[in-house]
Chains A and B, each alone.
Chain A
Amino acid sequence: MVSGKPSNIKIKQGKSFNLLLIILCLVLVFLGKFDLVAVRNFKAFLSDFLAPITYAFNKPVKEIAGVIEEVKSAGVLRDENIRLKSEIRRLKALNSKSASNEFELLELRELLKVIPKNKNKIVTGRALTAPGGIFANTVLINAGKKDGIKIGQPAISSLGLVGHVVNVGLNTSRVLLIIDINSMIPIYLTESNWPAVVQGQNGELLKIKFLSSEADLIEGESLETSGHGGRLPPGINVGNVIKSFSGKYYVKPTVNFHRLTYVSIITNANLKDNINKTFDGFAPLQKPSPSIGFKGLDASGKRNIESLQN
Protein backbone atom coordinates (compact mmCIF):
# COMPACT_ATOMS: atom_id res chain seq x y z
CA MET A 1 0.00 0.00 0.00
CA VAL A 2 1.25 3.44 -0.84
CA SER A 3 1.20 5.47 2.35
CA GLY A 4 -0.01 9.10 2.56
CA LYS A 5 1.65 11.13 5.33
CA PRO A 6 4.92 9.80 6.78
CA SER A 7 4.69 8.55 10.37
CA ASN A 8 6.52 10.23 13.30
CA ILE A 9 8.96 7.30 13.57
CA LYS A 10 9.88 7.72 9.88
CA ILE A 11 10.46 11.48 10.35
CA LYS A 12 12.65 10.84 13.41
CA GLN A 13 14.61 8.17 11.50
CA GLY A 14 15.09 10.64 8.64
CA LYS A 15 16.44 13.31 11.00
CA SER A 16 18.88 10.92 12.69
CA PHE A 17 19.99 9.74 9.25
CA ASN A 18 20.51 13.41 8.30
CA LEU A 19 22.69 14.02 11.39
CA LEU A 20 24.60 10.79 10.80
CA LEU A 21 25.36 11.85 7.22
CA ILE A 22 26.55 15.30 8.41
CA ILE A 23 28.99 13.61 10.81
CA LEU A 24 30.11 11.21 8.06
CA CYS A 25 30.73 14.12 5.71
CA LEU A 26 32.82 15.93 8.30
CA VAL A 27 34.87 12.76 8.83
CA LEU A 28 35.33 12.59 5.04
CA VAL A 29 36.50 16.22 5.00
CA PHE A 30 39.19 15.57 7.60
CA LEU A 31 40.19 12.30 5.90
CA GLY A 32 40.50 14.19 2.62
CA LYS A 33 43.08 16.44 4.25
CA PHE A 34 45.46 13.46 4.45
CA ASP A 35 45.58 13.52 0.64
CA LEU A 36 44.86 9.79 0.22
CA VAL A 37 45.73 8.35 -3.18
CA ALA A 38 42.33 6.62 -3.49
CA VAL A 39 40.45 9.88 -2.85
CA ARG A 40 42.68 11.74 -5.30
CA ASN A 41 42.14 9.10 -8.00
CA PHE A 42 38.39 9.12 -7.41
CA LYS A 43 38.31 12.92 -7.78
CA ALA A 44 40.43 12.77 -10.94
CA PHE A 45 38.16 10.11 -12.46
CA LEU A 46 35.01 12.12 -11.75
CA SER A 47 36.63 15.33 -13.05
CA ASP A 48 37.40 13.51 -16.31
CA PHE A 49 33.82 12.25 -16.46
CA LEU A 50 32.21 15.63 -15.70
CA ALA A 51 34.51 17.76 -17.88
CA PRO A 52 32.36 17.78 -21.06
CA ILE A 53 29.17 18.52 -19.07
CA THR A 54 30.90 21.33 -17.21
CA TYR A 55 32.18 22.85 -20.43
CA ALA A 56 28.76 22.63 -22.07
CA PHE A 57 27.11 24.42 -19.12
CA ASN A 58 29.77 27.12 -18.87
CA LYS A 59 29.93 27.94 -22.57
CA PRO A 60 26.61 29.82 -23.02
CA VAL A 61 27.04 31.90 -19.85
CA LYS A 62 30.63 32.73 -20.82
CA GLU A 63 29.46 33.83 -24.26
CA ILE A 64 26.69 36.05 -22.81
CA ALA A 65 29.15 37.61 -20.35
CA GLY A 66 31.53 38.19 -23.29
CA VAL A 67 28.82 39.98 -25.28
CA ILE A 68 28.00 42.23 -22.28
CA GLU A 69 31.70 43.10 -21.92
CA GLU A 70 31.98 43.88 -25.65
CA VAL A 71 28.92 46.14 -25.58
CA LYS A 72 30.40 47.92 -22.56
CA SER A 73 33.79 48.38 -24.22
CA ALA A 74 32.20 49.74 -27.43
CA GLY A 75 31.46 52.97 -25.54
CA VAL A 76 35.11 53.64 -24.81
CA LEU A 77 36.53 52.65 -28.22
CA ARG A 78 37.82 56.15 -29.08
CA ASP A 79 39.76 56.56 -25.83
CA GLU A 80 40.99 53.00 -26.11
CA ASN A 81 42.28 53.70 -29.64
CA ILE A 82 44.26 56.76 -28.50
CA ARG A 83 45.68 54.81 -25.56
CA LEU A 84 46.69 51.89 -27.78
CA LYS A 85 48.41 54.19 -30.31
CA SER A 86 50.57 55.72 -27.59
CA GLU A 87 51.20 52.21 -26.20
CA ILE A 88 52.43 51.06 -29.62
CA ARG A 89 54.86 54.02 -29.81
CA ARG A 90 56.17 53.20 -26.33
CA LEU A 91 56.51 49.48 -27.09
CA LYS A 92 58.35 50.15 -30.36
CA ALA A 93 60.93 52.18 -28.47
CA LEU A 94 61.20 49.51 -25.79
CA ASN A 95 61.49 46.78 -28.39
CA SER A 96 64.54 48.29 -30.06
CA LYS A 97 66.08 48.90 -26.64
CA SER A 98 65.48 45.32 -25.50
CA ALA A 99 66.86 43.93 -28.78
CA SER A 100 70.18 45.68 -28.18
CA ASN A 101 70.12 44.55 -24.53
CA GLU A 102 69.49 40.97 -25.53
CA PHE A 103 72.45 41.01 -27.90
CA GLU A 104 74.64 42.45 -25.14
CA LEU A 105 73.37 39.81 -22.70
CA LEU A 106 74.21 36.99 -25.11
CA GLU A 107 77.74 38.34 -25.57
CA LEU A 108 78.23 38.64 -21.81
CA ARG A 109 76.90 35.11 -21.24
CA GLU A 110 79.34 33.85 -23.82
CA LEU A 111 82.21 35.66 -22.08
CA LEU A 112 81.24 34.37 -18.61
CA LYS A 113 80.52 30.81 -19.86
CA VAL A 114 77.08 30.75 -18.16
CA ILE A 115 75.35 27.35 -18.21
CA PRO A 116 72.43 27.71 -20.63
CA LYS A 117 68.93 27.52 -19.19
CA ASN A 118 66.77 24.51 -20.01
CA LYS A 119 64.01 25.43 -22.41
CA ASN A 120 60.55 24.92 -20.95
CA LYS A 121 58.33 22.26 -22.46
CA ILE A 122 54.81 23.64 -22.48
CA VAL A 123 51.42 21.96 -22.82
CA THR A 124 48.45 24.29 -23.24
CA GLY A 125 44.89 23.41 -22.31
CA ARG A 126 41.57 25.19 -22.32
CA ALA A 127 40.08 26.20 -18.96
CA LEU A 128 36.87 24.21 -18.58
CA THR A 129 35.48 25.66 -15.39
CA ALA A 130 35.06 29.04 -13.76
CA PRO A 131 37.88 29.96 -11.37
CA GLY A 132 36.12 28.72 -8.28
CA GLY A 133 33.88 29.33 -5.35
CA ILE A 134 34.08 30.78 -1.88
CA PHE A 135 36.27 28.15 -0.26
CA ALA A 136 38.35 26.87 -3.18
CA ASN A 137 39.93 28.54 -6.19
CA THR A 138 40.84 25.97 -8.79
CA VAL A 139 40.40 25.58 -12.50
CA LEU A 140 39.95 22.43 -14.57
CA ILE A 141 41.83 22.20 -17.87
CA ASN A 142 41.43 19.74 -20.72
CA ALA A 143 44.96 18.30 -20.68
CA GLY A 144 45.97 15.44 -18.44
CA LYS A 145 48.24 12.48 -17.83
CA LYS A 146 48.31 11.48 -21.49
CA ASP A 147 49.78 14.92 -22.34
CA GLY A 148 52.59 14.46 -19.83
CA ILE A 149 51.14 16.57 -17.02
CA LYS A 150 52.07 15.62 -13.45
CA ILE A 151 51.13 16.87 -10.00
CA GLY A 152 53.13 19.92 -8.89
CA GLN A 153 53.93 21.30 -12.33
CA PRO A 154 53.53 25.08 -12.66
CA ALA A 155 50.68 26.61 -14.68
CA ILE A 156 51.16 29.91 -16.50
CA SER A 157 49.30 32.18 -18.86
CA SER A 158 50.60 34.85 -21.24
CA LEU A 159 50.52 37.35 -18.34
CA GLY A 160 52.18 35.35 -15.59
CA LEU A 161 51.84 32.61 -13.00
CA VAL A 162 48.41 30.99 -12.70
CA GLY A 163 49.14 28.29 -10.10
CA HIS A 164 50.25 24.68 -9.99
CA VAL A 165 48.71 21.30 -10.81
CA VAL A 166 47.15 19.54 -7.81
CA ASN A 167 45.28 16.68 -9.43
CA VAL A 168 45.67 14.88 -12.74
CA GLY A 169 43.20 12.67 -14.57
CA LEU A 170 43.71 10.96 -17.90
CA ASN A 171 42.28 13.86 -19.92
CA THR A 172 41.93 16.68 -17.39
CA SER A 173 44.02 18.37 -14.69
CA ARG A 174 43.06 20.60 -11.81
CA VAL A 175 45.17 23.72 -11.23
CA LEU A 176 45.26 25.35 -7.80
CA LEU A 177 45.24 29.10 -8.45
CA ILE A 178 47.68 31.41 -6.67
CA ILE A 179 44.70 33.25 -5.13
CA ASP A 180 43.66 30.10 -3.22
CA ILE A 181 44.35 30.12 0.51
CA ASN A 182 46.35 26.88 0.21
CA SER A 183 48.76 28.37 -2.32
CA MET A 184 52.13 29.73 -1.17
CA ILE A 185 54.64 30.93 -3.76
CA PRO A 186 58.28 31.84 -3.08
CA ILE A 187 58.98 35.14 -4.84
CA TYR A 188 61.44 38.00 -4.98
CA LEU A 189 60.76 41.70 -5.39
CA THR A 190 62.29 42.77 -8.68
CA GLU A 191 63.25 46.34 -7.67
CA SER A 192 64.12 46.08 -3.98
CA ASN A 193 65.43 42.51 -4.52
CA TRP A 194 64.11 40.93 -1.34
CA PRO A 195 62.85 37.35 -1.17
CA ALA A 196 59.44 36.61 0.37
CA VAL A 197 56.46 34.28 0.09
CA VAL A 198 53.02 35.25 -1.24
CA GLN A 199 49.92 33.47 -0.01
CA GLY A 200 46.44 33.51 -1.53
CA GLN A 201 43.49 34.66 0.54
CA ASN A 202 40.57 33.29 -1.53
CA GLY A 203 40.12 36.88 -2.67
CA GLU A 204 41.57 39.07 -5.40
CA LEU A 205 44.80 39.99 -3.59
CA LEU A 206 47.75 38.00 -2.23
CA LYS A 207 49.33 38.41 1.18
CA ILE A 208 53.09 38.97 1.51
CA LYS A 209 54.68 36.73 4.16
CA PHE A 210 58.18 36.12 5.51
CA LEU A 211 59.47 39.43 4.22
CA SER A 212 62.49 40.85 6.03
CA SER A 213 61.75 43.77 8.37
CA GLU A 214 64.58 45.65 6.60
CA ALA A 215 62.78 45.41 3.26
CA ASP A 216 61.45 48.65 1.88
CA LEU A 217 58.53 47.89 -0.43
CA ILE A 218 57.89 50.10 -3.46
CA GLU A 219 54.31 50.51 -4.57
CA GLY A 220 53.84 49.14 -8.07
CA GLU A 221 57.02 47.06 -8.15
CA SER A 222 56.63 43.65 -9.75
CA LEU A 223 57.21 40.24 -8.20
CA GLU A 224 58.63 37.16 -9.86
CA THR A 225 59.01 33.57 -8.74
CA SER A 226 62.37 33.04 -7.02
CA GLY A 227 62.61 29.31 -7.72
CA HIS A 228 63.20 28.48 -4.06
CA GLY A 229 62.34 24.88 -3.21
CA GLY A 230 62.74 23.85 -6.82
CA ARG A 231 59.01 23.51 -7.41
CA LEU A 232 58.59 26.52 -9.71
CA PRO A 233 61.10 27.87 -12.22
CA PRO A 234 62.48 31.34 -11.36
CA GLY A 235 61.50 34.49 -13.24
CA ILE A 236 57.76 33.97 -13.79
CA ASN A 237 55.77 37.15 -13.31
CA VAL A 238 53.44 36.92 -10.29
CA GLY A 239 52.00 40.39 -9.70
CA ASN A 240 52.55 43.95 -8.50
CA VAL A 241 52.74 45.44 -5.03
CA ILE A 242 49.80 47.63 -4.08
CA LYS A 243 49.09 49.59 -0.92
CA SER A 244 45.72 49.23 0.79
CA PHE A 245 43.77 52.00 2.53
CA SER A 246 45.04 50.72 5.87
CA GLY A 247 48.64 51.17 4.70
CA LYS A 248 49.31 47.43 4.38
CA TYR A 249 51.01 46.05 1.29
CA TYR A 250 49.38 43.37 -0.86
CA VAL A 251 50.06 41.82 -4.23
CA LYS A 252 47.68 42.14 -7.16
CA PRO A 253 48.19 39.19 -9.54
CA THR A 254 48.94 40.08 -13.14
CA VAL A 255 46.63 37.31 -14.37
CA ASN A 256 42.91 38.06 -14.55
CA PHE A 257 41.49 34.78 -13.31
CA HIS A 258 37.98 35.62 -14.48
CA ARG A 259 39.18 35.93 -18.07
CA LEU A 260 41.24 32.76 -18.03
CA THR A 261 40.70 30.86 -21.28
CA TYR A 262 43.95 29.00 -21.91
CA VAL A 263 46.41 27.71 -19.32
CA SER A 264 49.89 26.42 -20.12
CA ILE A 265 51.63 23.80 -18.00
CA ILE A 266 55.42 23.65 -17.85
CA THR A 267 56.02 19.93 -18.15
CA ASN A 268 59.78 19.65 -17.70
CA ALA A 269 59.92 16.26 -16.01
CA ASN A 270 62.96 16.80 -13.78
CA LEU A 271 62.49 20.48 -13.03
CA LYS A 272 63.33 20.04 -9.34
CA ASP A 273 66.64 18.23 -10.06
CA ASN A 274 67.75 20.78 -12.67
CA ILE A 275 67.17 23.73 -10.40
CA ASN A 276 68.89 22.15 -7.41
CA LYS A 277 72.00 21.53 -9.50
CA THR A 278 72.50 25.16 -10.39
CA PHE A 279 70.92 26.88 -7.39
CA ASP A 280 73.42 28.30 -4.91
CA GLY A 281 71.07 30.06 -2.48
CA PHE A 282 69.57 33.50 -2.67
CA ALA A 283 71.12 36.79 -1.70
CA PRO A 284 69.57 40.21 -2.22
CA LEU A 285 71.03 41.78 -5.34
CA GLN A 286 72.48 45.25 -5.64
CA LYS A 287 70.19 47.96 -6.97
CA PRO A 288 70.94 48.59 -10.67
CA SER A 289 72.63 51.90 -11.37
CA PRO A 290 70.47 54.34 -13.37
CA SER A 291 71.13 54.01 -17.06
CA ILE A 292 70.64 56.48 -19.88
CA GLY A 293 67.38 55.75 -21.68
CA PHE A 294 66.06 56.78 -25.07
CA LYS A 295 64.87 60.28 -25.63
CA GLY A 296 61.36 60.57 -24.20
CA LEU A 297 61.79 57.52 -21.98
CA ASP A 298 63.04 57.38 -18.41
CA ALA A 299 65.43 54.76 -16.98
CA SER A 300 62.63 52.24 -16.38
CA GLY A 301 61.42 52.56 -19.97
CA LYS A 302 58.33 54.61 -19.09
CA ARG A 303 57.25 57.46 -21.35
CA ASN A 304 58.47 60.83 -20.16
CA ILE A 305 55.48 63.08 -20.93
CA GLU A 306 57.25 66.39 -20.14
CA SER A 307 60.07 65.86 -22.62
CA LEU A 308 57.56 64.81 -25.31
CA GLN A 309 55.54 67.97 -24.82
CA ASN A 310 58.68 70.14 -25.18
Chain B
Amino acid sequence: MNTNNFFNFFYNFSKSIFFLTGLFFLLSIETSLIFFPIFKTASPSLIIITIYFTIKKFNFPPSNLNLLFLGLLNDIYFGGNLGLSSAYFLLIKYLTEELSFVMFKKYDGDWLKFTFIFICSFSIIFLINILLNQSIPDISPILYHVGITLIIFPILNFGLNVTLFLTNLIKIN
Protein backbone atom coordinates (compact mmCIF):
# COMPACT_ATOMS: atom_id res chain seq x y z
CA MET B 1 0.00 0.00 0.00
CA ASN B 2 2.79 2.38 1.04
CA THR B 3 4.79 1.51 -2.06
CA ASN B 4 1.70 2.15 -4.18
CA ASN B 5 1.19 5.55 -2.54
CA PHE B 6 4.82 6.45 -3.03
CA PHE B 7 4.77 5.54 -6.71
CA ASN B 8 1.44 7.31 -7.17
CA PHE B 9 2.89 10.46 -5.60
CA PHE B 10 6.08 10.13 -7.64
CA TYR B 11 4.06 9.65 -10.85
CA ASN B 12 1.91 12.74 -10.18
CA PHE B 13 4.92 14.80 -9.17
CA SER B 14 6.92 13.92 -12.31
CA LYS B 15 3.82 14.58 -14.44
CA SER B 16 3.48 18.04 -12.90
CA ILE B 17 7.16 18.83 -13.39
CA PHE B 18 7.00 17.66 -17.00
CA PHE B 19 3.91 19.79 -17.60
CA LEU B 20 5.49 22.86 -15.96
CA THR B 21 8.63 22.44 -18.08
CA GLY B 22 6.51 22.13 -21.22
CA LEU B 23 4.55 25.27 -20.43
CA PHE B 24 7.73 27.15 -19.58
CA PHE B 25 9.16 26.12 -22.95
CA LEU B 26 5.99 27.44 -24.60
CA LEU B 27 6.27 30.64 -22.60
CA SER B 28 9.79 31.17 -23.95
CA ILE B 29 8.56 30.65 -27.51
CA GLU B 30 5.71 33.10 -26.89
CA THR B 31 8.18 35.71 -25.64
CA SER B 32 10.52 35.20 -28.55
CA LEU B 33 7.73 35.61 -31.11
CA ILE B 34 8.06 39.35 -30.55
CA PHE B 35 11.20 39.30 -32.72
CA PHE B 36 9.09 38.45 -35.79
CA PRO B 37 7.85 41.56 -37.61
CA ILE B 38 4.22 40.34 -37.62
CA PHE B 39 4.19 40.13 -33.80
CA LYS B 40 6.11 43.38 -33.30
CA THR B 41 3.13 45.07 -31.64
CA ALA B 42 2.18 42.11 -29.43
CA SER B 43 2.49 38.34 -29.44
CA PRO B 44 -0.44 35.92 -29.10
CA SER B 45 -1.10 34.22 -25.78
CA LEU B 46 -0.15 30.62 -26.59
CA ILE B 47 -0.16 29.66 -22.91
CA ILE B 48 -3.82 30.58 -22.47
CA ILE B 49 -4.78 28.56 -25.55
CA THR B 50 -2.77 25.58 -24.22
CA ILE B 51 -4.39 25.77 -20.78
CA TYR B 52 -7.81 25.81 -22.45
CA PHE B 53 -6.96 22.83 -24.67
CA THR B 54 -5.57 20.76 -21.80
CA ILE B 55 -8.80 21.24 -19.87
CA LYS B 56 -11.35 20.93 -22.67
CA LYS B 57 -9.71 18.68 -25.26
CA PHE B 58 -7.45 16.39 -23.24
CA ASN B 59 -9.40 16.43 -19.99
CA PHE B 60 -6.09 16.94 -18.19
CA PRO B 61 -6.46 20.14 -16.14
CA PRO B 62 -3.14 21.59 -14.98
CA SER B 63 -2.80 21.71 -11.21
CA ASN B 64 -3.35 25.01 -9.42
CA LEU B 65 0.17 24.98 -8.01
CA ASN B 66 1.58 24.42 -11.50
CA LEU B 67 -0.24 27.48 -12.78
CA LEU B 68 0.87 29.49 -9.75
CA PHE B 69 4.54 28.68 -10.37
CA LEU B 70 4.21 29.23 -14.10
CA GLY B 71 2.68 32.66 -13.50
CA LEU B 72 5.47 33.58 -11.09
CA LEU B 73 8.04 32.48 -13.68
CA ASN B 74 6.25 34.54 -16.32
CA ASP B 75 6.33 37.65 -14.13
CA ILE B 76 10.02 37.21 -13.42
CA TYR B 77 10.65 36.61 -17.11
CA PHE B 78 8.85 39.80 -18.21
CA GLY B 79 9.61 41.83 -15.07
CA GLY B 80 5.93 42.43 -14.39
CA ASN B 81 4.01 42.65 -11.13
CA LEU B 82 4.68 39.45 -9.20
CA GLY B 83 1.47 37.39 -8.96
CA LEU B 84 -0.52 39.04 -11.76
CA SER B 85 0.12 36.30 -14.35
CA SER B 86 -0.58 33.58 -11.76
CA ALA B 87 -3.95 35.19 -11.04
CA TYR B 88 -4.59 35.38 -14.80
CA PHE B 89 -3.79 31.70 -15.43
CA LEU B 90 -5.78 30.54 -12.41
CA LEU B 91 -8.71 32.69 -13.49
CA ILE B 92 -8.60 31.14 -16.98
CA LYS B 93 -8.66 27.67 -15.42
CA TYR B 94 -11.52 28.59 -13.09
CA LEU B 95 -13.63 30.16 -15.86
CA THR B 96 -12.93 27.29 -18.28
CA GLU B 97 -14.08 24.75 -15.72
CA GLU B 98 -17.04 26.76 -14.43
CA LEU B 99 -18.45 29.24 -16.91
CA SER B 100 -18.25 27.20 -20.10
CA PHE B 101 -20.46 24.51 -18.55
CA VAL B 102 -22.95 26.97 -17.10
CA MET B 103 -23.32 29.43 -19.97
CA PHE B 104 -22.71 27.44 -23.14
CA LYS B 105 -24.28 24.10 -22.37
CA LYS B 106 -25.93 23.70 -25.75
CA TYR B 107 -23.14 25.21 -27.81
CA ASP B 108 -20.59 22.71 -29.11
CA GLY B 109 -18.07 25.02 -30.75
CA ASP B 110 -14.96 26.01 -28.83
CA TRP B 111 -14.28 29.40 -30.36
CA LEU B 112 -17.16 31.29 -28.70
CA LYS B 113 -16.47 29.66 -25.35
CA PHE B 114 -12.79 30.51 -25.55
CA THR B 115 -13.51 34.08 -26.68
CA PHE B 116 -15.81 34.64 -23.73
CA ILE B 117 -13.42 33.11 -21.18
CA PHE B 118 -10.37 34.88 -22.59
CA ILE B 119 -11.99 38.31 -22.82
CA CYS B 120 -13.53 38.02 -19.33
CA SER B 121 -10.28 37.06 -17.59
CA PHE B 122 -8.17 39.44 -19.66
CA SER B 123 -10.51 42.33 -18.83
CA ILE B 124 -10.26 41.59 -15.09
CA ILE B 125 -6.45 41.49 -15.21
CA PHE B 126 -6.36 44.60 -17.39
CA LEU B 127 -8.49 46.50 -14.88
CA ILE B 128 -6.24 45.40 -12.00
CA ASN B 129 -3.27 46.57 -14.02
CA ILE B 130 -4.84 49.99 -14.59
CA LEU B 131 -5.54 50.20 -10.87
CA LEU B 132 -1.92 49.34 -10.06
CA ASN B 133 -0.37 51.78 -12.53
CA GLN B 134 -3.06 54.47 -12.11
CA SER B 135 -2.74 55.16 -15.79
CA ILE B 136 -4.44 53.85 -18.93
CA PRO B 137 -1.97 52.27 -21.36
CA ASP B 138 -1.99 52.45 -25.16
CA ILE B 139 -4.95 50.35 -26.32
CA SER B 140 -3.58 49.29 -29.74
CA PRO B 141 -1.10 46.58 -28.52
CA ILE B 142 -3.77 45.22 -26.20
CA LEU B 143 -6.34 44.99 -28.99
CA TYR B 144 -3.72 43.40 -31.23
CA HIS B 145 -2.87 40.85 -28.53
CA VAL B 146 -6.54 39.94 -28.01
CA GLY B 147 -7.23 39.88 -31.76
CA ILE B 148 -4.24 37.78 -32.74
CA THR B 149 -4.94 35.27 -29.94
CA LEU B 150 -8.56 34.91 -31.08
CA ILE B 151 -7.45 34.51 -34.71
CA ILE B 152 -4.79 31.92 -33.88
CA PHE B 153 -7.13 29.87 -31.64
CA PRO B 154 -9.32 28.36 -34.43
CA ILE B 155 -6.21 27.64 -36.54
CA LEU B 156 -4.61 25.70 -33.67
CA ASN B 157 -7.94 24.07 -32.87
CA PHE B 158 -8.32 22.88 -36.44
CA GLY B 159 -4.74 21.59 -36.49
CA LEU B 160 -5.31 19.72 -33.24
CA ASN B 161 -8.61 18.24 -34.44
CA VAL B 162 -6.97 16.99 -37.64
CA THR B 163 -4.09 15.46 -35.65
CA LEU B 164 -6.48 13.76 -33.22
CA PHE B 165 -8.59 12.47 -36.11
CA LEU B 166 -5.54 11.05 -37.89
CA THR B 167 -4.17 9.39 -34.74
CA ASN B 168 -7.59 7.82 -34.09
CA LEU B 169 -7.69 6.60 -37.69
CA ILE B 170 -4.25 5.02 -37.32
CA LYS B 171 -5.30 3.41 -34.01
CA ILE B 172 -8.44 1.86 -35.57
CA ASN B 173 -6.48 0.46 -38.50
A residues contacting B by CB (< 8 A) are 1-2, 14-15, 17-19, 21-22, 24-30, 32-33, 39, 43, 46-47, 50, 53-54, 57-58, 60-62, 65, 68-69, 129-136, 138, 140, 166-167, 174, 176, 181-182, 199, 201-205, 258
Chain B residues proximal to chain A, CB less than 8 Å: 4, 8, 25, 28-29, 31-37, 40-43, 64, 67-68, 71, 73, 76-84, 86-87, 90-91, 93-94, 97-98, 125, 128-129, 132-133, 135, 137-138, 140-142, 145
B32, A18: Cβ atoms closer than 8 Å: no
Q: Is B83 in contact with A25, judged by CB distance below 8 angstroms?
A: yes
> Which residues of B lie under 8 Å from residue A26 when comparing CB positions?
83, 87, 128
- Known contacts A18-B64, A58-B32; A32 and B79 CB within 8 A of each other: no
Cα distance A181–B43 when bound, in Å? 18
CB-contact partner of B28 in A22, A27, A57, A176, under 8 A? A57
Task: Give the distance in Å from the alpha carbon of A39 to the alpha carbon of B98 in the complex.
Answer: 33
The answer to whether B42 and A25 touch across the interface, beta carbons within 8 angstroms, is no
A29-B84, A54-B28, A65-B35 known; A18+B90 contact, CB < 8 A: yes
Q: Identify B31's interface contact among A68, A69, A130, CB under 8 A.
A: A130
A residues in contact with B140, CB < 8 Å: 203
Q: Once the chains bind, are A22 and B90 in contact (CB under 8 Å)?
A: yes
Asked whether B129 lies within 8 Å of A32 as measured between CB atoms, the reply is no
- Known contacts A58-B35, A132-B34; can you find 4 more A-B pairs with CB under 8 A? A14-B64, A62-B32, A129-B77, A138-B78
Instruction: State the main secondary structure of chain B at its contact with A.
Output: helix
Cross-chain contact of B64 among A1, A21, A39, A174 (Cβ < 8 A): A21
> Is the CB–CB distance between A201 and B37 below 8 Å?
no
Q: Cβ of A129: which chain B residues have Cβ within 8 Å of it?
A: 31, 77-78
**Given A21-B68, A61-B32, also A28-B138 (CB < 8 A):** no
27 contacts between A and B (CB under 8 A): A18-B90, A22-B87, A25-B68, A25-B71, A25-B86, A25-B90, A26-B83, A26-B87, A27-B83, A43-B82, A61-B29, A61-B36, A62-B35, A65-B36, A65-B37, A129-B77, A130-B34, A131-B34, A132-B34, A134-B42, A134-B145, A135-B81, A135-B137, A136-B78, A181-B133, A182-B133, A202-B141
| A32 and B82 contact, Cβ closer than 8 Å, known pairs A50-B73, A68-B37, A202-B141 | yes
Report which of B28, B29, B79, B91 forms a contact with A132, defined as CB distance below 8 A. Answer: B79
CB <8 Å contact, A15 and B32: no
What residues on A are CB-neighbors of B77 within 8 Å? Answer: 50, 54, 129
Do B25 and A57 touch (CB < 8 A)? Answer: yes
Kindly report which residue of chain A lies nearest to residue B71, judged by CB atoms: A25
Q: Which among A46, A129, A135 has the greatest number of chain B C-beta atoms within 10 A? A: A135
Flag if B80 contacts A135 (CB, 8 Å). Answer: yes
Which residues of chain A have C-beta atoms less than 8 A from B84's C-beta?
Answer: 25, 29, 135
CB contacts (< 8 Å) of A2 on chain B: these are 4, 8
Contacts of A176 in B (CB 8 A): 79
On chain A, the residues within 8 Å of B98 by CB distance are 15
Complex Cα distance, B77 from A50, in Å, reads: 8
- Per the bound structure, the CA–CA distance linking A304 and B52 in Å amounts to 60
**Quick one: which of B29, B128, B141 has the most chain A CB within 10 A?**
B141
- Least CB distance from B147 to A in Å reads 12
Closest 9 CB pairs of A and B: A203-B138, A28-B83, A138-B79, A57-B28, A61-B32, A136-B80, A25-B87, A201-B138, A65-B35
Q: Are B35 and A133 in contact (CB under 8 A)?
A: no
Q: Tell whether, in the assembled complex, residue A61 and residue B83 are in contact, meaning their CB atoms are under 8 Å apart.
A: no
CB proximity of A144 to chain B, nearest CB, Å: 14
List chain A residues, Cβ under 8 A from B37: 65, 68-69
Cβ-closest chain A residue relative to B43 = A133
Nearest CB in chain B: distance from A202 CB, A: 4
B35 close to A130 (CB less than 8 A): yes
Interchain CA distance A19-B97 in the complex, whole Å: 12
Chain B residues with CB under 8 A of A202: 137-138, 141-142
Within the complex, the shortest CB–CB distance from A181 to chain B, in Å, comes to: 5
Bound Cα distance A201, B135 (Å): 9
Contact at A29–B83, with CB atoms within 8 Å? yes
